[in-house]
């Protein structure tokens, strides 16, 4: 991997990630940009014991522009974007961040502190109409290296307690830009979901190992190799949800070996393609969320893993988080995980054999 950092016109950092042999990146950002916004506030909800970020400046962020005006495409003559010139993989500070290092001293008080952290955008490909599933394995490895690079950097950023790489895909998820990309959040607190993991570790330090052993010997494994296992979890919350675990316990992406980073594509790409083949829709919406150990807690006990799920439960139906899920945080799944695993295996076969694409059958999903 070759990394080339530059500074954008408003002072934000951008880093090109390239393979050896790619052309050098020498583009400059010539735009006239205002200064980036100040950091958000984080306010404590005393009843939940959770922090909420108040980032009002994000109301002004770019929202679903036409493809010809996408700010994540490479800049071209007559149209300057966030990325000044060609790229393979690139990461840069978000122009409308939920957390940042630009802090106003006044954002302090009881249950109130500045949203000190960092938010970045990661573009997986310059192809506006591409997808992560369409990346060649070498580019998947490059994205893995970029994620690890940024995890290390954000973990060393003042105020950051947890680093979260993720991808939102599809209009149904709420993405504001259609270009294939993900984000990385450096939170100034440990997130509620991870706090639940830490509580589980306190109850049983081997909880992750036991879960992986159970799933590897169960009937919901979708793909596996010497380094990774992908499975539908026993107590899946979402109709179609897959977890991808490295077989070796590591705290975060930085700790993965070169062989583990190489092997990830062999498990993850088939699963993504199965998601796309599951229903006859042009773009399967999904969220891909890397669960990593907090920066300062449970480093030796946590087990890195990726959670992938779609909010689509049938060809023309979405899974809404309505009263029980949104109001009480109590999930109710419409599909048995065993059925989901079976349907995803069928989709794996169709994705591997395009000639069978016309034989889709979705029993019980009307």
For the chain, the residue count is 366
Catalytic residue among 129, 179, 181, 243: 181
For residue 16 the two structure tokens come to: 């090109």
Active site residue 181: yes
Distances (CA, A) of 345 to 13, 177, 219, 249, 325: 42, 30, 11, 26, 28
Question: Using an 8 Å Cβ cutoff, are 271 and 341 in contact?
Answer: no
For residue 251 the two structure tokens come to: 């705290």
Which residues, at least 6 apart from 115, have a Cβ–Cβ distance to it below 8 Å?
39, 40, 41, 42, 53, 54, 55, 98, 99, 100, 107, 188
Which residues, at least 6 apart from 354, have a Cβ–Cβ distance to it below 8 Å?
none
In three-state secondary structure terms, 43 is strand
Query: Where do we find the tokens 């570790």?
Result: 201
Among 281, 205, 286, 196, residue whose Cα is nearest residue 235: 196
Residues designated as active site = 181
């Amino acid at each position: 991997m070759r990394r080339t950092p530059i500074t954008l016109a408003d002072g934000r950092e951008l880093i090109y990630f390239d393979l050896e042999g790619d052309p050098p990146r020498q583009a400059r950002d010539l735009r006239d940009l205002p200064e980036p916004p100040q950091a958000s506030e984080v306010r404590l909800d005393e009843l939940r014991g959770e922090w909420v970020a108040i980032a009002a400046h994000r109301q002004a962020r770019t929202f679903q522009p036409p493809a010809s005006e996408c700010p994540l495409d490479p800049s071209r003559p007559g149209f300057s974007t966030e990325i000044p010139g060609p790229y393979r993989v690139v990461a840069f500070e978000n122009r409308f961040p939920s957390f940042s290092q630009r802090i106003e001293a006044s954002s302090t008080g009881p249950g109130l502190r500045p949203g000190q952290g960092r938010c970045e955008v990661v573009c997986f490909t310059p192809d506006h109409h591409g997808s992560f599933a369409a990346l060649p394995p070498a580019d998947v490895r490059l994205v893995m290296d970029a994620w690890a690079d940024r995890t290390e950097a954000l973990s060393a950023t003042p105020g950051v307690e947890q680093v979260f790489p993720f991808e939102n895909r599809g209009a149904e998820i709420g993405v504001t830009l259609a270009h294939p990309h993900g984000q990385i959040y450096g939170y100034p607190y440990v997130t509620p979901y991870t706090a639940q993991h830490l509580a589980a570790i306190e109850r049983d330090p081997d909880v992750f190992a036991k879960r992986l052993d159970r799933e590897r010997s169960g009937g919901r494994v979708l793909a596996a190799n010497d380094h990774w296992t992908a499975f539908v979890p026993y107590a899946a919350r979402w109709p179609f949800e897959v977890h991808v675990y490295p077989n070796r316990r590591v705290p975060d992406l930085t700790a993965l070996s070169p062989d583990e980073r190489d092997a990830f594509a062999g498990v993850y790409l088939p699963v993504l393609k199965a998601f796309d083949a599951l229903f006859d829709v042009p773009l399967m919406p999904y969220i891909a969320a890397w669960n990593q150990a907090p920066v300062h807690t449970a480093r030796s006990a946590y087990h890195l893993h990726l959670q992938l799920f779609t909010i689509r439960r049938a060809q023309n139906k979405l899974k809404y988080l309505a009263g029980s899920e949104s109001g009480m945080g109590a999930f109710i799944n419409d599909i048995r995980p065993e059925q989901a695993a079976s349907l995803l295996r069928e989709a794996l076969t169709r994705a591997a054999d395009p000639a069978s694409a016309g034989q889709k059958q979705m029993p019980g999903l009307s």
